Amino acid sequence: MSTKYDIAALKARLGSIKSEDNPALVKQKSRDFFWYSPTLKRQLDQVTGDIIVSPTSEAEVLQVLAAAHALGIPVTPRGTGTGNYGQAMPLSGGVVLDLSGFNKVKAIEPGRYVAEPGAILSDIDKQTRAHSRQEIRLHPSTYHTASVGGFIAGGSGGVGSIKWGGLRDWGNIIRLRVATMEAQPRILELQGEDLHKVSHAYGTNGIITEVEMPLGPAYNWVDVIIGFDSLRGATEFANSLGEQDGLALKELAVVAAPAPHDYFLRHRKFLPRDSHCVIVMVADFAVESTLAYARRFRGAELLMRSDKLTPEEAKGLPPSFELAWNHTTLRALRVDPSITYLQVLYPFPNQVELVEKIHQRFGDELTCHLEFVRFDGKITCFGLPLVRFTTEERLEEIMAIHEEMGAPIFNPHRYTLEEGGMKQTDEIQLAFKREADPQGLLNPGKMIAWEDPEYDYRAGKTFLFRSLGEAAGG
Amino acid sequence: MSTKYDIAALKARLGSIKSEDNPALVKQKSRDFFWYSPTLKRQLDQVTGDIIVSPTSEAEVLQVLAAAHALGIPVTPRGTGTGNYGQAMPLSGGVVLDLSGFNKVKAIEPGRYVAEPGAILSDIDKQTRAHSRQEIRLHPSTYHTASVGGFIAGGSGGVGSIKWGGLRDWGNIIRLRVATMEAQPRILELQGEDLHKVSHAYGTNGIITEVEMPLGPAYNWVDVIIGFDSLRGATEFANSLGEQDGLALKELAVVAAPAPHDYFLRHRKFLPRDSHCVIVMVADFAVESTLAYARRFRGAELLMRSDKLTPEEAKGLPPSFELAWNHTTLRALRVDPSITYLQVLYPFPNQVELVEKIHQRFGDELTCHLEFVRFDGKITCFGLPLVRFTTEERLEEIMAIHEEMGAPIFNPHRYTLEEGGMKQTDEIQLAFKREADPQGLLNPGKMIAWEDPEYDYRAGKTFLFRSLGEAAGG
């Protein structure tokens, strides 16, 4: 595949900055977990950049951006490629800006740390734990592989959200440094209200070069799995447990039978096939209170607690957060590749009833998977239900029915910010793109408001970025 | 005043355990802050024990209890006497069990500590902060004087409740050791469900001899005061701020104008007389986010932030939590002794409207004081309104109107558990008293269910304990 960009000229301007243009390696680093979605798999499978460039300092980032800007080459930033929606896939080719080597933890203080964007979340934790028994507040289930910059640019919450809410909630990011895409790239410092400009913007309007993030206390977390013979029982318990403000919880999920038994293969020995499971991470000192509270719920059965396993039993067990969030889907996909998923909000205060109503409606076509979170000061749950995939049309229909029934969908089968999010223009992110990327060279095709300001979100169509259209057209 | 108890025989049995029976000193240590309430002041002003006994170990506590049991002498435990409802006042005389010298911190671990009951809350914090930058989760505004055992036996929450909920919520107490009042006193270990037996039981059914409590992270807390020109504006802001799950808050109160200016004398220079104040404790790293969030609210005016004061300005300023909870009342009382207070719950989700409606109804007779807390997983507020006292009858009427309007009252003008609480028998505490204090010698007169099982809470009367009746009668 020939490219329209002058990659040779770019390389000349990169000096000693590491780069790679072997097409196989470039294609490999142009991908993420988009293949969770059959729709995205069809649309994005051929997407590749032209060159991977791997700066390891802010100065190098600025040098790459200036060079690409001068040559009119798009730049798509990437942490470690653990996103699910093609966030970091270069739809127009050009530079894949690999930030995984720009990864030092620079400072640790009470309640906060400063790091470079490529720092892996679990590596940050190792350092903050050793330094002062602190840990990051929020992480995706890809804790061991995801970078903090990628999480901020492309994630939204995860493990820890039962305590701290979402990543974009006030206080969950303290400060970001961002490089602009201009002839002379600038560095901007963003705090407070300004953080909304670039968090969860997929790197479409600036390149994060430094993060300052809050820390929570690092406890000894215990994994607890409690089984119920009805989904309703599991959901009611999880919701009530989440509302116990004094319990130090880090994760709280529900996975309906028979998924735990069928898909959590290493845990299978603990999981009866008909048990609807509540998966909990709780501080060691709160385990007894949590179990005492559970005994108030009819049919609650303790299936596993990690602090009482023999070394034999514990051997090879993944941490419970690797049964949750997108890892639930991943484990299901490994067993049954025909499965896909949705992202649903069940709004407070009717979440328990709504979960039941929706799952009764769909029966076996959907398997319930809930993640309880704090949301605007209340406890409610997101759903990442497993879907027995048939056609893209049926998938659309399932989502439409959810919305009709009162459960908003954050569509994980779309690569644009708007379609995956609120289905409307984010004026703040758009305005910042005008300022920080006037040529529209950063991660092209992901912000509909930029590409097609007249786009009608209510038309019920899928946005198709022109570069993909061209590719599809030949 | 002669006593009906054989105090000389008791002293003989105490051996080397410290005691004091000088009547003036005994009376002084038989009192708490009951005089906040004109009703309690009238009822309890003459209450005194016969002897103060000050054990400094569990073995000594057991020895005192056995001796008093043998002689049929009542025992009323006391930390440092910072309660407001006569919790630790010996209505039937006898032994005041002064636990203030039984006060060591015995162990500090990640997320928890173990201490003796007389340990002062701020002393615990000094040790846990120095050990591992941890701090107690919850404390009353009498942080510098209150003991942890007294707080558990007689308190209910306070500073930190915006984060962790109430003291009796699951997880906010880990374990208690309790001595029984029997011929051969036993030690019981309580966890989980059993903690409800003795927490907030005023020491009527056991003597706490050891506590294991959770710790939170010790941040650098900044005091922030934000002013509004309307009470509604202040209340709406405070409620919304409390719902920001990512902000590390420790305290969140509203005090209506002109109380801050009129009563917070050392802060007066910051406080315009017509400003309704929102008082916030927030971690240093979250101050900018908090202020950015405040700028979204019309009329929000930053009146003070402690991290930007000059040494001159900061000199002599108390911490902001000493403007909150019962210290608000205390400061008002110091300026205007005719003031008293209430304890009100404004239930979620109508708290903001209810506060406005109730305060419109009463006008200047009540000054609004709100304390925002997590309560069953949601944000709502308690009120400790300042009341311009006229008569006890009017005070009763004001409380009745609150309840009619949907705001339950926890009556701070009563010395019994039930009247100050849910106005019904606590079967768990009662059952435990039958087991742990079969002779009814612990803190007599405070548990109506024990003294008068047939008592009708709906009769609209005040329970009068027989010992007080006798005293009043001569």
Pairing status of strand A51-54 against strand A95-98? parallel
**SS3 at position B318:** coil
CB contact under 8 Å between B170 and A220, yes or no, is: no
**Residue B472: which pLDDT band, with cuts at 50, 70 and 90?**
very low
Distance CA(B410)–CA(B422), nearest Å, equals: 7
Q: Do the Cβ atoms of A290 and B170 come within 8 Å?
A: yes
Do A369 and A234 contact (CB within 8 A), yes or no? no
* Contact in structure between A186 and A213 (CB atoms under 8 Å): no
Closest CA–CA distance from residue B131 to any residue of chain A (Å):
11
Of A403, A409, A407, A433, the closest CA to residue A422 belongs to: A409
Between chains, do B245 and A165 touch, taking CB under 8 Å as contact? yes
Whether A71 contacts A50, CB under 8 Å: no
Cβ–Cβ gap B216/A217 under 8 Å: yes
User: Which residues on chain B are in Cβ contact (under 8 Å) with A283?
Assistant: 111, 214
Give chain B positions within 8 Å (CB) of A295. 193
Sole residue written with tokens 């000059």: B310
A254-284: per-residue pLDDT in tens?
999 999 999 999 999 999 999 999 999 999 9
Nearest to A286 among B171, B216, B379 (CB): B171
Full strand arrangement of the beta sheet holding B386-388:
B339-341, B386-388, B366-367
Contact B247 A171 (CB under 8 A): yes
Q: What confidence tens digit (pLDDT) does each residue in B166-185 have?
A: 999 999 999 999 999 999 99
Q: Which two tokens stand for residue A387?
A: 């879907």
Residue B295 C-alpha, separation from nearest chain A C-alpha, in angstroms: 9
Beta bridge partners of A339: A388
State the pLDDT confidence band at B462, using cuts at 50, 70 and 90.
confident
What is the 8-class DSSP label of residue A363?
Answer: G
SS3 B267: helix
Determine what percent of chain A is predicted with pLDDT higher than 70: 98
Mutant choice from B170, B236, B240, B250 vs A, greatest count of A C-beta within 10 A: B170
The reported pLDDT for the residue numbered B468 is 84
Q: Where are the alpha helices (DSSP H) in B381-426?
A: 392-404, 417-420
Report CB contact under 8 Å: B110, A219: yes
d(CA B270, CA B304): 6
Q: How far is A189 from chain B (nearest CA, A)?
A: 13
Identify the sign of the CA torsion A285, A286, A292, A298.
negative
Searching chain B, which residue's CA lies closest to the CA of residue A247?
B171
Is the CB of residue B61 less than 8 Å from the CB of residue B210?
A: no
Question: Would you state the pLDDT for residue B2?
Answer: 55
The pLDDT tens digits of the residues spanning A140-167 come to 999 999 999 999 999 999 999 999 999 9
Q: Cα angle at B398 between B394 and B401, to 5 degrees?
A: 135
- Strands A301-305 and A221-228 turn out to be antiparallel
- Say if CB A369 and CB A412 are below 8 A apart: no
Residues B226 and B244: their CA atoms lie apart, in Å, by 17
User: What confidence score (pLDDT) does residue A473 get?
Assistant: 40
CA B128 – CA B110 distance, rounded (Å): 10
Q: What's the mean pLDDT in B45-50?
A: 97
Other C-beta atoms lying within 10 Å of the C-beta of residue B342: 22
Chain A residue closest to B296 (CA)? A193
Q: What is the pLDDT of residue B474?
A: 34
Select from B165, B242, B292 the Cβ nearest to the Cβ of A193: B292
| Contact call for residues B275 and B301 (beta carbons, < 8 A) | yes
Q: In 10 A of CB B172, how many CB atoms?
A: 26
Contact A288 B193 (CB under 8 A): no
Q: Which of B417, B382, B385, B408 has its CA nearest to residue B154?
A: B417
Q: What is the pLDDT of residue A470?
A: 61
- Give the gap in angstroms from C-alpha A174 to the nearest C-alpha of chain B: 7
Q: What is the ipTM of this complex?
A: 0.95
pLDDT band (50, 70, 90) for residue A233: very high
Q: What is the pLDDT of residue B466?
A: 87
- Partner-chain contact A170 B295, CB within 8 Å: no
The answer, yes or no, to whether residue B274 has pLDDT greater than 60, is yes
One-letter amino acid identity for A368? C
pLDDT the model gives residue B470: 61
Chains A–B, number of C-beta pairs less than 8 Å apart = 161
Residue B142 pLDDT grade (very low, low, confident, very high; cuts 50, 70, 90)? very high
Give the domains, in start order, of chain A with CATH numbers. 1-218 (3.30.465.10), 221-310+321-389 (3.40.462.40)
User: Which residue's entry shows tokens 């809350």?
Assistant: B121
Residues of A in contact with B166 (CB under 8 A): 245-246
Query: Residue A249 is inside which H or E element, if any?
Result: strand A249-255
Measure CB to CB from residue A171 to each of B192, B217, B246 and give the nearest one: B246
Return the closest-CA partner of residue A227 out of A288, A276, A262.
A276
What is the Cα–Cα distance from B14 to B92, expressed in whole angstroms?
20
Cis previous bond, B349, omega within 30: yes
Backbone angles phi, psi at A208, to 5 degrees: -70, 125
Contact assignment for B378 to A377 by CB distance below 8 Å: yes
Binned at pLDDT 50, 70 and 90, residue A1 comes out as very low
Question: Average pLDDT, whole number, for chain A?
Answer: 96
B291–A192 C-beta distance less than 8 A = yes
Backbone angles phi, psi at B70, to 5 degrees: -60, -35
What are the tens digits of pLDDT across the range A311-361? 999 999 999 999 999 999 999 999 999 999 999 999 999 999 999 999 999
Q: Distance between CA atoms of B187 and B146, rounded to whole angstroms?
A: 24
Question: How far out from the chain centre does Cα A247 lie?
Answer: 25
| pLDDT recorded at residue A471 | 53
Q: Which residues of A touch B217 (CB under 8 A)?
A: 110-111, 134, 215-217
Using CA atoms, how far apart are residues A443 and A441, in angstroms rounded to an integer? 6
CB–CB of B348/B382 below 8 Å?
A: no
- CA B31 to each of CA A304, B2, B96, B118, B414: distance values in angstroms, whole numbers, following the listed order: 50, 19, 10, 17, 15
Mean pLDDT of B254-279: 98
User: Closest by alpha carbon to A215, among A324, A72, A322, A105?
Assistant: A105
Give me A5's structure tokens: 């960009």
**Given pLDDT bands bounded at 50, 70 and 90, which one contains residue A468?**
confident
Contact A111 B217 (CB under 8 A): yes
